[in-house]
Chain A
Amino acid sequence: MTDMIKTNDRTITLEILRYNPESDEAPTFGTFEIPYVEDWSLLDALEYIKDEMDSSLSYRWSCRMAVCGSCGMVINGKPQLGCETFLRSYYPEKMRIEPLANFPIERDLVVDSSDFIKKLESVKPYIIDAVDATKAAPKKKQPEKTSTGVYKQKPAELGLYKQFSMCINCMLCYSACPQMGLNPLFTGPAALALGHRYNLDNRDQGADERTEVIQDKNGVWSCTFVGYCSEVCPKNVDPAAAINQNKAQGAQDWALSFLMPRKGDK
């Protein structure tokens, strides 16, 4: 890390929101002036601070390649991944780093993600096949198996849900969502998109079991369709589209329930 610093005296200033629940009453900004290295991501800069200036700085990171989803932060007001954010995009201006919004802060840039994980779990994000589906008779035909032994899934069928399977659970969309701040019970963009991903999978029979959560007032109907979630998504998952498709489906099911009242039996 330090050996990457070239000999020049250019520096960049980082303002980082600091909070240690054991000693601080409220979060306050700390200021760090660090060497400016053109190749550095924000993670490189944070590592420099932790290794050389203030070892108590707390943040999550691992893969450095935008796939593990650990390092979501709010950078100059926008939720981003620290590993994909480069100093050169801001230099010579200063950078202001805060933890993700709409989550309780555990310490410094680390937020409490346990509620997010519960929401992910609540949409039953796994294949529910004909044997598992208890609530209703399967609506879809189970796909045939190929000679290899896998369920047949044509590229177009894969394409239906593929985008929604790309979520890295980085929680940027929860930080971006204005509704999340108003209604903490909102299941939220990433979890709803994940439920939708399984509903769209031709191997899955579990849509009815997910309806309760997805169509709940704290499900898709809590979304006011601002669309900022999709804008900040680093993987182009487009959770807003997932939510919208479910609203359309929900409205259609509601209308159909008058024509075929028994369908809605639970």
Chain B
Amino acid sequence: MQVVKADIIVVGAGGAGLRAAIAAAEKNPNLDIALISKVYPMRSHTVAAEGGSAGVVQSHDSLENHFIDTVAGGDWLCDQDVVDYFVANSTEEMIQLEHWGCPWSRKDDGDVNVRAFGGMKIERTWFAADKSGFHMLHTLFQTSIKYPNIKRYDEFYTTDLIIEDGRAQGVTAIQINSGAPHTFLGKAVVFATGGSGRTFRFNTNGAIVTGDGHAMALRAGATLRDMEFVQYHPTGLPGSGVLMTEGCRGEGGILLNKDGYRYLQDYGLGPETPVGQPKNKHMELGPRDKLSQAFWQEQRKGRTIETPLGDAVHLDLRHLGEKKLMERLPLICSLAKNYMGVDPVHQPVPVRPAVHYTMGGIRANLDCSTSIPGLFAVGECASNGMHGANRLGSNSLAETVVFGKVAGESAIEFARHATQSDQTRLLDHANANLDRIEKMRNANGTEKASHIRHDMVKTMETTLGIYRIGEEMQEGVDKITELRERFKNVKVEDKSKVFNTELLQAFELESSLTVAQGMAIGALNRKESRGAHQRLDGFEKRDDENFLKHSLITLNDKGEATLSYEDVNVTRFQPAARTYGAAAEKGEQK
């Protein structure tokens, strides 16, 4: 076993992990930061974010507006102190990225440009054409190279936390290219491991979004929160699930059903706005949960378009014209051409909702600390309470950097006061973790992991979709329990050490199954409809009396998920009817 000693260990090198590492490196250039990632940093899923990153910048906008949009967008399940901190610090982070070289799109006068986004009252989404996540990630990665005290461990798969004396003091990992087990010891650990979208079948997420961090934290005794809230992005390409950014609609793209009718006006988002004149918080600029739900309703009414790859609606961008499309949405155009054979300049693009984002995550506080001292969580893997029951587009890229910085600085501060426990004891823990790796490699059961995975993603899709029914969710819970049993009898056929991706996939599946169970249990027991969690079995309304609460999942001694609840931090914006379109305008006039 190779032992690596560092002061701070960051797991995950996407937007949040890189920002955390940079913040830590800047705060104290004398500390060693080990940045561990299962892929090279620029492969992290931040890379696939397209539309942009929110930060108030226009003079007729305000932090209060961004706060209100975010909390109402999250159907009041947001912790309002966290949202306040987020909106107050986001713009500064966007400027910081600019100073680091991020090629934000510009106005003619050389100032940054912002675009409209769903559920946002004023344009405040900073963008780099339709490759905002790509440019943010590469800017952060390339900037991180400047700091000699960030030592990267690329392509190391982290399997478990090391907890001693009640504190997170390290992780164990497999060096993927050699299979060699490694133990990383440090005084604080930051998890920036991304979401769990790949527990579902139809997906905008990359292969790597398997919930490793969620499951590791849970196994180590941390709490997962609000896991039942899974975001369906309304516009993925049929078949592949490849994302067509919300920026398409921010720029004026419209959604049409099979009759060429802008159906969103029938779902509380109207009245219809003139084509080419998008209006904030109306029609196509409604929030993602409402738009995905509208698709589902249209499908039930038989008004969607049948395609060989499933039912779809049309995202029509033709009226934007070739020049604007090439300037603002070049990636979208090439993706639509390559994956659908459709040129958005001349044809509408078939789209349908696809699983996109995990609103819940490792329960974290404003300073990114978790219920395990020394463990910090940030980015999609964390639930600090800012997204509530439905995340607004362009809030998550901003979250990675706003709270990435916080996590890095909090970890440094924690490490300053922490002393490492006796190394023998730490290595005992490490050895137990490493035994788990060997056990998995030698797993000789009869079940094929890939088949369990196929069953899991189908189960999640059919029982925990855009609309949910108690009976079906119970089926989901039962089926996932059954799959976890089956996994105990898994066979890893490939016993080799070098780049054994079958072994890694087995670990990923184990994680995904753990998370899936938490999602299903959280959903089944939330007897109301809120944000991305919508029920059709007598619980169609939001129930603030009983469920203005975060759900909490922990594991008991037997490794079974147990559920409890905690209050939401409502500071000043009391729950109200969540309205868009004309209804919202009427509400504001009151």
Contacts and interface: CB of A to CB of B under 8 A. Distances in A.
Say if A and B assemble together: yes
Interface of B: 39-40, 42-45, 47-48, 57, 95, 98-101, 103-112, 131, 134-135, 138, 142-143, 145-146, 154, 177, 206-208, 239-243, 308-309, 331, 334-335, 338-339, 448-451, 453-454, 458, 493-494, 496-502
B207 A110 contact: no
Contact of B177 (A1, A56, A112, A125): A112
Nearest to A143: B110
A1 B211 CA distance: 20
Given A56-B493, A149-B95, A154-B109, A106 B101 contact: no
A126 interface: yes
A211 interface: no
A21 B178 CA distance: 10
Contacts of B458: 3
Nearest to B506: A55
Contacts, number: 167
A8 interface: no
A50 interface: yes
A41 B143 CA distance: 34
A168 B141 CA distance: 12
A162 B128 CA distance: 10
A58 B499 contact: yes
A237 to B, nearest CB: 12
A58 B501 contact: yes
B98 A69 contact: no
Interface string A137-174: 00000010011111111110110011001101100000
Interface residues of A, number: 68
A106 B499 contact: yes
Contact of B331 (A67, A146, A161, A201): A67
A61 interface: yes
A203 B104 contact: no
14 contacts: A2-B454, A20-B496, A50-B450, A51-B450, A61-B207, A63-B43, A69-B42, A107-B499, A120-B145, A148-B57, A153-B110, A154-B108, A155-B106, A158-B105
Contact of A127 (B43, B99, B331): B99
A64 B110 contact: no
B131 A157 contact: no
A36 interface: no
A208 interface: no
A127 B98 CA distance: 10
Interface of A: 1-4, 20-23, 39, 41, 50-52, 55-56, 58-70, 84, 106-108, 110, 112-114, 117, 120-121, 124-127, 129, 143, 146-155, 157-158, 161-162, 165-166, 168-169, 194, 198, 201, 203-204
B454 A126 contact: no
B450 A55 contact: yes
A110 B498 CA distance: 10
B106 A154 contact: yes
Q: Please report whether the interface of chain A is mostly helix, strand, loop or mixed according to DSSP.
A: loop
Contacts of A55: 448-450, 493-494, 502
B578 to A, nearest CB: 31
Nearest to B92: A149
Contacts of A4: 239
A117 B42 CA distance: 11
A58 B177 CA distance: 11
Given A66-B334, A149-B95, 12 more contacts: A2-B454, A20-B496, A39-B309, A60-B43, A62-B39, A62-B207, A63-B43, A64-B242, A112-B177, A150-B111, A153-B110, A154-B109
A201 B450 contact: no
A168 B131 CA distance: 11
A84 B376 CA distance: 37
B206 A68 contact: yes
A60 B504 CA distance: 12
A154 B43 CA distance: 30
A62 B110 CA distance: 35
Contact of B498 (A3, A20, A114, A161): A20
B135 A68 contact: no
Contacts of A110: 499
A162 B498 CA distance: 38
A199 B130 CA distance: 24
